[in-house]
Amino acid sequence: MADITANLAGTHLVALDWGTSSLRAFRLGASGQVLEQRSRPWGIMNLPPAPADQTGAEPGAAFERALQDTCGDWLATLPSVPLLACGMVGSAQGWREAKYLDAPTSLDDLARGLTVVGRGSATPLHIVPGLLQRTGLPNVMRGEETQVLGVLGDAALVGQGPLLVGLPGTHSKWVVAQKDGTRCSIQRFHTFMTGEVFAALRGHTILGKTMQPPAEPDDAGFAQGLQVARGSDADLGLLSHIFSTRTLGLTGALPAAAQADYLSGILIGHEIAGLARVHPPTSAAPHQLVLCGEPDLCRRYTLALQAYGFAPPTIAAQATVTGLWQIAQAAGLVTTATHAQPTPSTRSLAA
């Protein structure tokens, strides 16, 4: 036990990125650096079942089992370490609902709005609230606010002033954020269901019937889809364009292994076209552009952004961890002699 305690002694925070399909746990040191990372398939829709001899357990019991399976040894060895989570664990289907805060909001607002989940005599779990945008058509995010604050908190990545942060994925987000001195804020955001629509079209419509999985990403097919989205037939719109995935295949103009990437290019192209109408890349004072997400997806979005006239974006990594550390500091869950942040790797992608 003494050896285990010694190995974990530098832990200042256990940070959880708890989504719909997975749970990632990070053990963070005195300056927010990742000392250890674990991942389990215990998203809020796939929690570990109760043992056969346990019936009538409290509603939070399955979440506690997931937590114990993921990092119970950390928590048992260091029972006073603070515990902070973001993501769908704070949804209405999560462990405890963390009410949405209204946008615009700031790092301090999020830190003050943490929802506390009691765990008996154990360290309570703190959950970051999501954001609700009420102007125009309502919009929500849960988990992405932490990623954006992580981007803003990385001094090596962004300077002062406005940013446009892209978070590509199932429900892609584009977030207008601001860094003014030490104040970090989220102003407004847009959501595109690009990833989910791609999965639905590929898996549940006739378009998927002629597709074959490529051995590697087909950039030529993707670029062809981008061109259709912004070409001479652009006025016909998305619903017309996506059907060309089938007709080009039937006429032999698009190989079966290129059809998924072509469809991806059409969908992402229409997303970026919408973004460009709201945030023109040729404006007098364009926002600094940052992408945060899975590497190959960020690569695709970089190609699409440049096709529509945007400058090559900066790519952020480990932004969720940085954001959780920022929130923990602002909430007083951790205190350090300095205000160092985690140092995620950053890079730029150009076509």
User: Is the previous residue joined to 104 through a cis bond, with omega within 30 degrees of 0?
Assistant: yes
pLDDT in tens, 89-124: 999 999 999 999 999 999 999 999 999 999 999 999
CB 184 within 8 A of CB 326: yes
* pLDDT for the residue 343: 43
pLDDT in tens, 200-244: 999 999 999 999 999 999 999 999 999 999 987 878 899 999 999
* pLDDT for the residue 350: 36
Q: How far apart are CA 12 and CA 28, in angstroms?
A: 6
| Domain definitions of the chain by residue range | 2-145+320-343, 194-275
Contacts of 14 (CB under 8 A, 6+ apart): 25, 26, 27, 28, 71, 74, 75, 81, 82, 83, 84
Contacts of 148 (CB under 8 A, 6+ apart): 165, 167, 175, 177, 186, 292, 319, 323
Alpha carbon distances (Å) from 200 to 26, 99, 139, 223: 32, 30, 22, 21
Helix (H) or strand (E) segment spanning residue 15:
strand 13-18
* Token pair for 119: 């765990």
pLDDT in tens, 51-87: 866 665 677 899 999 999 999 999 999 999 999 999 9
Given a cut of 80, whether residue 319 has pLDDT beyond it is yes
* Token pair for 171: 């429900």
Given a cut of 90, whether residue 263 has pLDDT beyond it is yes
- The CATH code of the domain at 194-275 is 3.30.420.310
Given a cut of 50, whether residue 301 has pLDDT beyond it is yes
- The CATH code of the domain at 2-145+320-343 is 3.30.420.300
Q: What angle do CA 50, 51, 56 make, to 5 degrees?
A: 55
Q: How far apart are CA 281 and CA 279, in angstroms?
A: 6
* Fold equal for 2-145+320-343 and 194-275: yes
